[in-house]
Amino acid sequence: MTKQQHIGWDFNNSYTTLSERLFAKQLPAAVPNPKMVCFNNELANTLGLDFSTVSEDEKAQLFSGNLLPTGATPIAQAYAGHQFGHFTMLGDGRAILLGEHLSPNNKLFDIQLKGAGQTAFSRRGDGKATLRSMLREFLISEAMHHLGIPTSRSLAVVNTGEKVYREETHEGAVLTRVMSSHIRVGTFEYISNFLDVATLQDFTNYVIQRHYPELAKNANPPLALLKAVMDKQIDLVINWLRVGFIHGVMNTDNMSIAGETFDYGPCAFMNNYHPDTVFSSIDTQGRYAFGKQPEIVQWNLVCLAETLLPLIDKDADKAVKMAQELINSFPAIYQEKWWQMNGLKLGFTSISDKEKQLIEDLLSWMQNNQADYTNTYLAIANYHQQIDKKYTAPDFAQWHQRWEEALKTNNISLTSALNTMKQHNPAFIPRNHLVEQALDDVCLKKDATLFNDLLITGKSPYQAQANYKHLQTPPPDGDKGYKTFCGT
């Protein structure tokens, strides 16, 4: 007897009212022996879902795709995208959108099964996902959420009981991903390149109504949409830079119209500070390096702007001019927010040329000394407790003295500065070597101790946690030779 009526699903499925060329109806593939691996109770509560009367077995059936939630209308979405600068037709090749669930506070969330089998868009792929890559996404997306960064979230990971073949044999898994929507820049590119202007207009209206309803009455809603997406994406990349996050695969199909981080394939966190840091094995040219992320955001926005030109103005030249003016405002807006973010990391609420010089000198010092990005800000805040030679050296002591003098000049007390810093500098990030060890432990030894420790520290990343201090320590070799992979 199913307990689904007590769970509280409230599916809307508005996407299926759009043109049928935007999706393909698709049931998840049946899996032989699903077993729950992770379940996110906190997120379930946020969604207004109650699984207290649902058995572990039924939960596993539900989150593997063997059993559909009440009211779900499963589809695979069509989209295209520029991948490493090259345009290609894509689509959900291993993900199935169950529908849009309405939460008790009236927010709409996509509920998607990732790794749920082949779809009309799988091309030559098997549509499956590995347990390792799905656990990685669960861990890092939850860490990002608690860092205060807009992101997709993970509700569940289920071991499918199948083997998945990549370079090696892996256990198969399905992840339940939750986002405000999976609409991407690449969705607009698909419509612009393969469908008609009428469909583009209908879709743009839908996106505005769903994500930016206040823009509907704007004199030029498509242009206002471009501006709103630009603002969200600037704020997002500033947040990434604040915590040392490297997305690793910033293709236009991985850029959310709602300004949320998603697709955690080859992502990583920077330990030793260097703007050219790259970990992704497929990013051989460093296109998506840590410091290049802002210019890629702007590049992706140009792709979005190009799709919206027919809606911005019927006169093509006028449309180009209007879009260009807007995109050209990106660097100045970004730069101002970048200085502001770096100022807050040092306890400053306003920035003058003197503070800018202080920021630049600190970043140069970190780069020259191969200093840990996260721990350097903690060292500034706890300067007199430092035993690391880097932070007791004369050059750092000199910089620290200049910083204290700048606070006095700005009439900022040390206590006030430290409070500001604590809000903007995490004490804990998911350290790459620990993430890999945790995944090895779960997948090879069936030991989730470290994985759970990382989840616990990730829930309070701005709090010093004495019991978990060892999780704050970077690797001795500073990630030398570390590579990340797509996990597809």
Distance separating alpha carbons of residues 34 and 58, to the nearest angstrom: 9
With both helix axes pointing from N to C terminus, report the angle between 316-328 and 330-345 in degrees, rounded to the nearest 10: 20
Q: Is 253 labeled as catalytic in the residue annotation?
A: yes
Beta carbons of 314 and 222 less than 8 angstroms apart = no
Residue from 439, 430, 426, 424 nearest 471 by CA: 430
Distance separating alpha carbons of residues 83 and 399, to the nearest angstrom: 42
Within 13 Å, how many C-alpha atoms sit on residue 227's CB side? 14
- The residue from 253, 283, 372, 479 that is catalytic is 253
The three-state secondary structure class of 229 is helix
In this structure, is the dihedral angle defined by the CA atoms of residues 356, 245, 176 and 127, taken in order, positive or negative? positive
Q: Token pair of 387, please?
A: 């035993």
Q: Which DSSP state fits 165?
A: E
Distance separating alpha carbons of residues 464 and 428, to the nearest angstrom: 8
Report the Cα 281 to chain-centroid distance in Å.
19
Residue from 298, 303, 186, 290 nearest 248 by CA: 290
With both helix axes pointing from N to C terminus, report the angle between 316-328 and 221-243 in degrees, rounded to the nearest 10: 30
Distance separating alpha carbons of residues 238 and 56, to the nearest angstrom: 40
How many other C-beta atoms lie within 10 A of the C-beta of residue 399? 16
Query: Hey, which residues are catalytic here?
Result: 253
